[in-house]
Amino acid sequence: MFKGFKDFLMRGNVVDLAVAVVIGAAFTAVVTAFTEAFLEPLIRLVSGGGELGGTFVVNGIEFNWAMFVNAVITFLITAAVVYFLVVLPLKTVQERRKRGEEEGPADPTEVELLVEIRDLLREGRRDEAAGRHAAGGPAD
């Protein structure tokens, strides 16, 4: 049970995904800090400044529209960076591969496939033998 979990965690795509999430969170924190430190005060200043800059009051309840505009700007900056630094380059590479201008990932050779099949068969036999031993069945 733990071996399967370990194999799952050690797959390259799971580790890459974890790294991407951490970097994405850190980048979002930087963009949020920038918009809160620079853009929100500018919005408040443009909207009249002072204590009520960037807000309006209805029946004694304060609505902070500057904070909302700040969040929208944070989202747009983050989305633009993801699009221009990740999505667009990947899309360009895929289009080049379709046109034949760029090679795709190399297909595994027959020897590599046979080695992988052999390893999977060995692993299956070990798991099967371990299951028989745990159940108290006859051993090979």
32, two tokens: 């949020």
- The 3-state secondary structure of 90-106 reads HHHHHHHHHHCCCCCCC
pLDDT (tens digit per residue) in 56-108: 888 888 888 888 888 888 889 888 988 898 888 888 888 888 888 767 666 77
**Model pLDDT, residue 1:** 64
Rounded to two decimals, the pTM is 0.53
* Cα 78 to chain centroid, rounded: 13
pLDDT band at 135 (very low <50, low <70, confident <90, very high): low
Please give the span between the terminal C-alpha atoms of the chain, in angstroms, as a whole number. 22
For 11: left if phi > 0, alpha if psi spans -120 to 50, otherwise beta; the answer is beta
Share of the chain above pLDDT 90, in %: 1
